[in-house]
Structure 1
């Protein structure tokens, strides 16, 4: 808990369509049945959307790269999501699991829609340690005019354990996501989607995964646009790590499960019960894909700065108060608000030799908790997100936003916070997805959600979120200096330009970092 806050019959039909390509929408009378390259699936076609869940997109042995899923005979039931990939307990956005046969995806499409819809592939967050695609109810997003795909992918120890005897491990989460994108390219037309108009969209850990795909040669051509939410790709170490660091972390785990002295470390690790591996890895790590490989030649931040990324339009943004939830969660875990006297020591611990300058720039306000959250939001989230947008904008079209809504839904079932959470980390998600993690939306909040969904789906369709009666959303142009750093402020009022750099101390943190 504390760490969560710190810091996815018809035999006659099948015979008639067995030779039909998956690239065309099925001619079946039953809209709940679709034929994929692996076989037919039966979902649900009630209401405003058609939903297909738990479709295998790949399969994999432990610590090995994914391969295409095997086919099946008959019509496969696709009305229930697949099991979450192996993960520890700890995050409310996850579910304890020891499942390794978990590479499934879900497809939701507007009922009765024509062919050629834009496709949004959602990559869930959870620090690359937790989560599952089906947690994020996509019906409202799909009803906005897109085919929405979510997936489960390997997390934590099953993706990132790194050792010389495990040549394919270290970034299997990205390999799985690529396998899902290849499945989309081959099959999504059968669901009414356009395989040539795919937008990858992710938040937090999922957004950091997209950072990796933007710079990975092996992800080229698998998507045409990207939406990156609360994932500062340009912060060193945020989206990737070097092999030495990953192998040192792996050595701790390998030793803990008794395989350090094995003659064949890989064989030993494959014999360890998955639950023991999950427990040895623990719930509080922040794994990242290993760089220095053919799939990720450079660290993500370096590749962005060097311009070695795919030239696709990018919609990138950050929440105005990212760290509010982290500080509030720590307060809830401790049972009391942060004491005023804790503010300065916390800043000194986090910022070391720069602490005096930080304390002058950010003196404690009326309460320690929101003061510390502001410092962390600016330094950890806002500034590196603008750095990311600037780097991308030098070579491709970029729109940047700041989610700035006040009075957002709080987490369901938790005590009320000591100060308003406002635009905390994840606060935008219940406006886009149906999420039981949060209190329900009011009618006014749901209306704001419709506006966000409109912008997101317009971007997925055209690469430009402008329209829908909203204020014009200008591109961010780094070639025009600070005047070109356009950031659209998104809240339930009128949208317009945010005074982003000034409000978040961009000049201060840039000088400090330099």
Structure 2
């Protein structure tokens, strides 16, 4: 299931890129010059459609680390080298090397990143701010992009909206992906987690520079969706990022969604062989050979593994000192304020055709449900002899309301995916962070944007739907060949609410506390804190409401019953 879900991550974010390509700002002009530790940058002025008198100063493509090329490949990032004069910061930097096969299959009038270049020298950041007054001390939101740790980039248009409406500074950035960001030999020669180390370096860059962009370096919130949310969760477990941020937001994903690979060397050897490296047990020689290969050769070598191949984080002893489950069990957690949640139908519709043999509109039989479930669960549990027992437990819990209706059966299957990979990991992590003493706020996003007219009515808010709102698309003007989208008044209302909740949290650590925020910010229902005694969560919708205890039996199934069955298997071996 992790593999199927990985490709859905890339598919979803690519579609958002195609949609967001029509979401450039209403206008842009020459902007101010700001100093960074590496040199001066000259940005531009942009606006949203509804706030033409509210300029947003935008700086694009600023190097936050040295190019990770040559001997710096497969090594922690180093600070960006200085430059002379004023650097023009009006274009996004290249996106990091990645396989585009899946993305190129999209039936969209604008291809993924068609107006950008791909280059290994890709570690750049973008800043969106309503002021460049060093004394402004505005809260900072540092965005970590999604894409399964394999694809996408940190430059979607849209951050002008939340910056303008909520008086916050937003920073986005690229980080190394896939075969260049998460390959590992499992030892000191190629420890791995380079994409995560890039994220730490981006946090350091923010701490060093953001004051000159109007931001408060002591009030930084890291936030992300999908693999970005997973990254945030891992950062909360790393000693390297401690003190570099004060708050965190995970949207649709935690470390449990992408658990670590305990034996990364096996796949690295195969990739090295595919790339033409001589077979060897000496990981130093293997690493040296991989450093000599071009990014294209490495991408081809990885792609040769087939569509089921993927790379995940590892325990490297530096960024991640031990398995995340042990860190959580021991309370070794960065106790930042934490807002996290998921959409109510993460596995709803997009991507169903990638693993169904028939037409999703026809539904599936109960036999197909069991077969699909066994296949997807085997991606994580592999050759576990108790796999059938696990599948039986899931089937017993996810009974269709109408056993004779193929669509009712498919509906239940979509929720096994969303619950196991998003909801249950989020609940598990929320509980661990509350136990460690963090303030936690939990949500389920129930709002389905109005731009999905061709999806069945039974599909709710699926993976990535929250991006339309958070990126403020209803308030950005269409400027390219992609057709404009007619957002509804409800879309606009939910967008303003979500941006306010997120910005309030970045300012105060409480999503419903608007202290210090804009006077015209929307009035929001109170969002109670999640605690073991009161596991309350916010149901985000046109009118947000609260509920206590999210799907307790299903969460128990994924977080307790299934692991217990798996442990029984291990004890027997």
Normalising by structure 2, we get a TM-score of 0.78
Q: Distance in 2 between matches of 1:66 and 1:268?
A: 20
Conserved? CA contact 2:34–2:212, under 8 Å: yes
CA distance change for structure 1 residues 503 and 380 in 2, over 3 Å: closer, same or farther? same
1:261-410 map, 5 Å: 261=279, 264-282=285-303, 285-330=309-354, 336-337=360-361, 339-341=363-365, 342-349=368-375, 350=377, 352-364=388-400, 365=402, 366=405, 367=407, 368-394=409-435, 395-410=437-452
Q: Distance in 2 between matches of 1:98 and 1:53?
A: 16
Q: 2:199 aligns with which of 177, 183, 190?
A: 177
Conserved? CA contact 1:229–1:317, under 8 Å: yes
Q: Which residue of structure 2 lines up, in the alignment, with residue 156 of structure 1?
A: 178
Offset of residue 311 of structure 1: 1.3
List runs of 5+ in structure 2 lacking aligned partners. 14-29, 48-54, 378-386, 514-521, 565-573
Q: Distance in 2 between matches of 1:197 and 1:314?
A: 14
Q: Which residue of structure 2 lines up, in the alignment, with residue 38 of structure 1?
A: 38
Conserved? CA contact 1:337–1:369, under 8 Å: no
CA RMSD of the aligned region, Å?
Answer: 2.8
CA distance change for structure 1 residues 180 and 421 in 2, over 3 Å: closer, same or farther? same
1:170-319 map, 5 Å: 170-234=192-256, 238-242=258-262, 244=263, 246-261=264-279, 264-282=285-303, 285-319=309-343
Offset of residue 491 of structure 1: 0.6
1:16-31 map, 5 Å: 31=31
Q: Distance in 2 between matches of 1:504 and 1:406?
A: 25
Offset of residue 290 of structure 1: 1.2
Deviates more, 1:190-199 or 1:61-70: 61-70
Deviates more, 1:214-223 or 1:297-306: 297-306
Conserved? CA contact 1:370–1:419, under 8 Å: no
Q: Which residue of structure 2 lines up, in the alignment, with residue 58 of structure 1?
A: 65
Q: Distance in 1 between matches of 2:442 and 2:46?
A: 36
Equivalent residue of 1:134, what SS?
coil
Spell out, residue by residue over 1:354-398, the C-alpha distance to the aligned partner (whole angstroms, 9 max, x if none): 333322322234403322101222222212211110110112110
Spell out, residue by residue over 1:171-224, the C-alpha distance to the aligned partner (whole angstroms, 9 max, x if none): 000111111111111100010000011000011111111112111111111101
Offset of residue 408 of structure 1: 4.6
List runs of 5+ in structure 1 lacking aligned partners. 9-29
Spell out, residue by residue over 1:108-138, the C-alpha distance to the aligned partner (whole angstroms, 9 max, x if none): 0015776100000000000000011112521
CA distance change for structure 1 residues 248 and 112 in 2, over 3 Å: closer, same or farther? closer
Q: Which residue of structure 2 lines up, in the alignment, with residue 88 of structure 1?
A: 99
Determine which structure has greater relative contact order: mean sequence separation of CA pairs < 8 Å that are 6+ residues apart, divided by chain length: 2
Q: Distance in 1 between matches of 2:357 and 2:43?
A: 41
Offset of residue 431 of structure 1: 0.2
Conserved? CA contact 2:148–2:227, under 8 Å: yes
Q: Which residue of structure 1 lines up, in the alignment, with residue 22 of structure 2?
A: none
Q: Distance in 1 between matches of 2:300 and 2:486?
A: 34
Equivalent residue of 1:386, what SS?
helix
Normalising by structure 1, we get a TM-score of 0.86
CA distance change for structure 1 residues 168 and 195 in 2, over 3 Å: closer, same or farther? farther
Q: 2:122 aligns with which of 102, 108, 115?
A: 102
CA distance change for structure 1 residues 315 and 375 in 2, over 3 Å: closer, same or farther? same
